[in-house]
Amino acid sequence: MLDPFSLLVVRFGIGSIFLFCLINLLKEHISVPFKYIPHLLSLGVLGVFVHQVIQASALLTIQASDAGWLIAFSPIFTVLLSIVFLKEPLTRARTAGIAIAVSGVLFITTLGSGQSFSFALSIGYFLMILSTFNWAVYSVLLKKLAIPLPSIVITFYMSMCGFILTLPFLVRNHGWHQLVNLEGYYWGHLLFLGVFVSALAYWY
């Protein structure tokens, strides 16, 4: 099995390679003006590295189902921050969107899985809530910066930033030994996480 932190390295490594190939296929320009590099680094650190490391740390102590319903706070935090910092109104459509998002997460993690709510005061729950708030900050910052580059190029550099910053975890945990002993079945999971969750989901 692959530890959660080495998993981050592999999935964003795969995601970066996939996005690079897609950028070339779409014939997008990959070069970035120097003045936007700090913006991309800020987004990569906040939206990829910090967000994913906090979540991985939280999942060491709480169940994935509990983490799932805590993620439902993310759209709520995002809307609140958008109202304060972007001066965006709380429309009926956004209210409906929050309700649908929260209901969907709760259905999948509770009713859909046959599990019930559980909550306890622990570092894992605190980290998970912090993770959802961090994602809201990242989402608002992404819109606020309004970097005039193709979204796929922005996503590629964010993914590369996440890969480079998490690489020390692979070294510390001797992740390459885990990868060598990984069965082919799990490599399919890694490809799914890298291509769909780490690359396409961030892009869209």
Q: DSSP string spanning 68-131?
A: HHHTTHHHHHHHHHHHHHS-----HHHHHHHHHHHHHHHIIIIITTT-------SHHHHHHHHH
- Would you kindly state where each structural domain of the chain is located, as residue ranges? 4-27+37-203
For the stretch 162-180, pLDDT in tens is: 999 999 998 898 888 888 8
Average pLDDT of the chain, as a whole number: 87
Q: What is the mean pLDDT of residues 113-139?
A: 77
Q: Is the predicted pLDDT of residue 59 greater than 90, yes or no? A: no
pLDDT reading at 160 higher than 90: yes
Q: Which of 15-19, 37-41, 186-190 has the lowest mean pLDDT?
A: 186-190
Count how many residues are written for the chain: 204
Which pLDDT does position 123 carry in this prediction?
86
Query: Residue 154's pLDDT band (boundaries 50, 70, 90)?
Result: very high
